[in-house]
């Protein structure tokens, strides 16, 4: 493999990219756009849950309870209704996700020390959000109930009971419990997988469609020189995209980067080489830009988004699906990024994922080399 021929092929591909604004836009602008779009739109945080209230009691006790919900960051008081028809209307229209009904005898029962019932109606259309919101509501009511008991005990001159268990909660790695810190590193992996495969999926297919592949075949350029020469420009652009993504994660989304920046870029380079080679392999097999583009999207976006563990926990998947995730290279890169970003760990912990990523990249480069033949058929 001669460096002069390699430079010639890489220069040719660089010229094509910079002369084609669509390719350049896909290479640089699209990853940033996707990161901003998914970074702001995709969130697993459940807060500011819209709440409707029907206060039949209308007493200081009921208003104090309602103020606990209104003052919490997890609920947003959207409507005060006067009957069940208005309550149902608020939930049906999506104006409220939950509804709290305080009965007429609420204050009388609380003041007399008798159990008081509350009704909480939850829209279960989104089961995950409804479950979390119901847990928030139960915690608020439980805390309010305990405070009432303590006030009654103190009023009677008794000593406040000591709880049998004292739980001290400490959150590691993501103390703010922000899903953005968890999602952004995974998004970088998914976006780079998709964009890299899409970019190189058109390289060889474009040569076949435009009739320039015959000219390349007739030259002394060897298969490794052609493959690496075509990959090199997109590898440079891809690493530039990684740099932009890391800077956006730091300064736009304020995601903490606790681990080694050098290790992050090293693993990104390995992953990018494999993703680009996968796109090249698709381009070699398809020989048609439209087909290659569609195959690249199916083989990269769907597995990387769903089966990589970026959003959906792999541990909660059925065993058959969990087995399939081992074939998704984005799974290992997502694990690496989350470990580097959130935990600040290195290869002493992430060595297995790094090794599997190297195997994936080497296999993709090797397959692209084997599949490409300097022949017209």
298: its two tokens: 């199916």
Would you say residue 325 has pLDDT above 60?
A: yes
Q: Which pLDDT value is given to residue 336? A: 94
Instruction: Tell whether 160 is covered by a domain.
Output: no
Average pLDDT over residues 364-376: 75
Q: Token match 């995209």: residue?
A: 241
Instruction: Tell whether 165 is covered by a domain.
Output: no
Query: What DSSP letter does each residue of 311-376 carry, written as one string?
Result: SS-GGGS-HHHHHHHTT-HHHHHHHHHHIIIII---HHHHHHHHHHHHHHHHHHHHHHHHH--SS-
Q: How far is CA 170 from the centre of its chain?
A: 24
End of a domain among 155, 186, 211?
155
Query: What 3-state DSSP class applies to 79?
Result: strand
C-alpha–C-alpha distance, residues 182 and 43, integer Å:
10
Q: 321 and 184 in one domain?
A: yes
Q: Are strands 98-102 and 75-80 parallel, antiparallel or unpaired?
A: unpaired
Query: Cα-atom radius of gyration of the chain, to the nearest Å?
Result: 29
Q: Which pLDDT value is given to residue 376? A: 45
Q: 145 and 263 in one domain?
A: no
Q: How many CB atoms lie within 10 A of CB 221?
A: 18
Average pLDDT over residues 96-114: 90
Q: 254 and 151 in one domain?
A: no
Instruction: Tell whether 213 is covered by a domain.
Output: yes
Would you say residue 77 has pLDDT above 80?
A: yes
Number of domains within the chain: 2
Cα–Cα distance list, 181 to 242, 254, 338 (Å): 17, 8, 9
Average pLDDT over residues 48-71: 93
Instruction: Tell whether 163 is covered by a domain.
Output: no
292: its two tokens: 């290659």
Average pLDDT over residues 203-215: 68
Cα–Cα distance list, 341 to 254, 264, 275 (Å): 12, 9, 21
Sequence length of the chain is 377
Average pLDDT over residues 263-281: 91
Instruction: Tell whether 195 is covered by a domain.
Output: yes
Q: 281 and 185 in one domain?
A: yes
Q: 219 and 194 in one domain?
A: yes
Q: What is the pTM of this model?
A: 0.81
Q: 342-353 pLDDT, tens per residue?
A: 999 999 999 999
Neighbouring C-alpha atoms within 13 Å toward the C-beta of 98:
26
Query: What DSSP letter does each residue of 206-273 carry, written as one string?
Result: HHHHHT-HHHHHHSS--HHHHHHHHHHHHHHHHHHHHHHHHHHHHHTS-----S-HHHHHHHHHHHHH
Instruction: Tell whether 131 is covered by a domain.
Output: yes
Instruction: Tell whether 259 is covered by a domain.
Output: yes
In the chain, what's the furthest Cα-to-Cα distance? 99
Q: 336 and 208 in one domain?
A: yes
Q: How many CB atoms lie within 10 A of CB 324?
A: 13
Range with top average pLDDT, 158-167, 203-212, 260-269? 260-269
Q: Do 99 and 51 meet the contact criterion of CB atoms below 8 Å apart? A: yes
Q: 337 and 300 in one domain?
A: yes
Tell whether the torsion through CA atoms of 46, 47, 51 and 55 is positive or negative.
positive
C-alpha–C-alpha distance, residues 66 and 141, integer Å:
10
Q: 231 and 136 in one domain?
A: no
Q: How far is CA 130 from the centre of its chain?
A: 21
CATH number of the domain where residue 58 is located: 3.40.1710.10
Instruction: Tell whether 172 is covered by a domain.
Output: no
Average pLDDT over residues 40-67: 89
Q: How many CB atoms lie within 10 A of CB 93?
A: 8
Query: What 3-state DSSP class applies to 298?
Result: helix
End of a domain among 105, 125, 155?
155
Q: 12 and 72 in one domain?
A: no
Range with top average pLDDT, 11-15, 255-259, 264-268, 300-304? 264-268
Q: 330 and 263 in one domain?
A: yes
Q: 113 and 214 in one domain?
A: no
Q: 188 and 135 in one domain?
A: no
Average pLDDT over residues 128-136: 90
Average pLDDT over residues 307-313: 85
Q: Which of 243-252, 284-293, 308-317 has the lowest mean pLDDT?
A: 284-293
Cα–Cα distance list, 176 to 122, 130, 181, 363 (Å): 26, 21, 9, 40
Provide the residue range defining the domain that includes 210: 3-43+177-371
Would you say residue 374 has pLDDT above 60?
A: no
C-alpha–C-alpha distance, residues 139 and 136, integer Å:
5
Q: Do 306 and 318 meet the contact criterion of CB atoms below 8 Å apart? A: no
Query: What 3-state DSSP class applies to 99?
Result: strand
Select from 72, 119, 81, 125 the least CA-distant residue to 100: 119
Please state, rounded to an integer, the average pLDDT across all residues of the chain. 85
What is the band of 213 on the pLDDT scale with cuts at 50, 70, 90?
Answer: low
Q: Which pLDDT value is given to residue 187? A: 87
Higher pLDDT, 41 or 102: 102
288: its two tokens: 């048609």
Q: Which pLDDT value is given to residue 269? A: 94
Select from 321, 365, 354, 35 the least CA-distant residue to 190: 35
């Amino acid at each position: 493999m001669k460096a002069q021929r390699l430079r010639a092929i890489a220069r040719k591909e660089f010229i094509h990219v910079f002369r084609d604004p669509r390719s350049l836009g896909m290479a640089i602008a699209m990853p940033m756009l996707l990161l901003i779009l998914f970074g702001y739109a995709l969130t697993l945080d459940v807060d500011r849950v819209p709440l409707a209230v029907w206060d039949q009691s209308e007493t200081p006790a009921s208003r104090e309870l309602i103020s606990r919900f209104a003052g919490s960051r997890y609920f947003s008081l959207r409507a005060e209704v006067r009957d069940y028809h208005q309550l149902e209307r608020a939930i049906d229209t999506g104006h409220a996700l939950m509804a709290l009904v305080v009965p007429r005898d609420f204050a009388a029962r609380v003041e007399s020390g008798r159990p008081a019932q509350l009704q909480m109606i939850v829209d279960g259309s989104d089961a995950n959000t409804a479950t979390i919101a119901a847990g928030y509501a139960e915690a608020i009511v439980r805390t309010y109930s305990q405070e009432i008991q303590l006030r009654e005990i103190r009023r009677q001159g008794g000593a406040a009971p000591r709880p049998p268990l004292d739980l001290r909660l400490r959150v590691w790695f993501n103390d703010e419990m922000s899903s953005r810190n968890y999602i952004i590193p995974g998004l970088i992996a998914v976006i780079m997988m998709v964009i890299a495969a899409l970019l190189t999926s058109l390289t060889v297919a474009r040569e076949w469609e435009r009739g320039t592949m015959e000219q390349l075949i007739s030259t002394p350029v060897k298969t490794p020189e052609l493959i690496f020469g075509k990959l090199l420009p997109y590898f440079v652009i891809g690493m530039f995209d990684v740099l932009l993504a890391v800077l956006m994660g730091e300064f736009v989304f304020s995601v903490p980067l606790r681990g080694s920046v050098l290790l992050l870029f090293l693993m990104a380079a390995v992953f990018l080489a494999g993703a680009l080679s996968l796109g090249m392999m698709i381009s070699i097999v398809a020989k048609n830009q439209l087909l290659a583009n569609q195959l690249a999207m199916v083989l990269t976006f769907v597995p990387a988004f769903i089966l990589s563990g970026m959003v959906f926990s792999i541990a909660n998947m059925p065993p058959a699906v969990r087995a399939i995730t081992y074939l998704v290279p984005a799974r290992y890169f997502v694990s690496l990024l989350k470990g580097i970003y959130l935990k600040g760990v290195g290869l002493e912990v992430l060595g297995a994922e790094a090794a599997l990523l190297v195997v994936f990249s080497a296999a993709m480069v090797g397959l692209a080399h084997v599949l490409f033949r300097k022949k017209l058929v």
